[in-house]
Amino acid sequence: MATPSGAFAPASREAFEAAAARTAPGRRELLRIRWRSDDGRISVSGSGAVRVAPPDSVRVDVAIRLGVARGTLIVAGDSVRAEPEEMVGQLLPDRFALWAALGVIRMPDGGNGFELLEDGARRFWRVADAAGRSTTFEMRGDTLVGVTRERSGRPAGQLRLFRGSDGAVLRAQVTDYERRARFEVDIASRQPSEAFPSEVWRLRS
């Protein structure tokens, strides 16, 4: 993410939430993805599908190459369910980073301090919490470009988004410096969808 030029100024939660709302998904979509995950010990890759339902629901189904294993993550508002939980936790980013990888801003857990820096066409929102963590969102207009996270002043993670000529996300790269892990996803295709069946939002077990 580009380094902002200038100083952050205090901002309101309402202003941040309004900016975040403008990144929310506008329609139901079915995405086909290719993904790679590497934590320094194990590197795996595979394919999958992502179902997005406005305003705040997403289901991710991933399969490891050669049929080694499959996993499901369902996020509905603040509810997060995974199966198998341990494998999904190792492979996929957390709820906040998952949405950001789709170009959607969600309030970081515990966010209670808000600042804004405007640098020409770029806008940087910084959200802090009581645990000493800060999250900075880089935007151009109403479009999310990237995210960085710091904990007690030290880099904790970074997200980079790559978009096509139509503005849609084509690739997302998530680096977790604390876990020394990296997750990358390519969106191979996307298509609008009718309403998803109710069982989509339930785990098999």
Binned at pLDDT 50, 70 and 90, residue 108 comes out as: confident
Does the pLDDT of residue 42 top 90, yes or no?
no
CA distance to 86, 95, 121, 161, per residue, from 89 (Å): 5, 10, 36, 22
Question: Hey, is 99 helix, strand or coil?
Answer: helix
Indicate if the pLDDT at residue 196 is higher than 90.
Answer: yes
What tokens appear for 186 in the block? 């390519």
Mean pLDDT, the chain, whole residue set: 91
SS3 134: strand
Check whether 205 has a pLDDT greater than 70: no
pLDDT at position 90 is: 77
Q: What is the identity of the amino acid at 192?
A: P
CB-CB contact of 177 with 165 (8 Å): no
In whole angstroms, how far apart are CA 105 and each of 20, 44, 142, 152, 204?
5, 27, 10, 22, 29
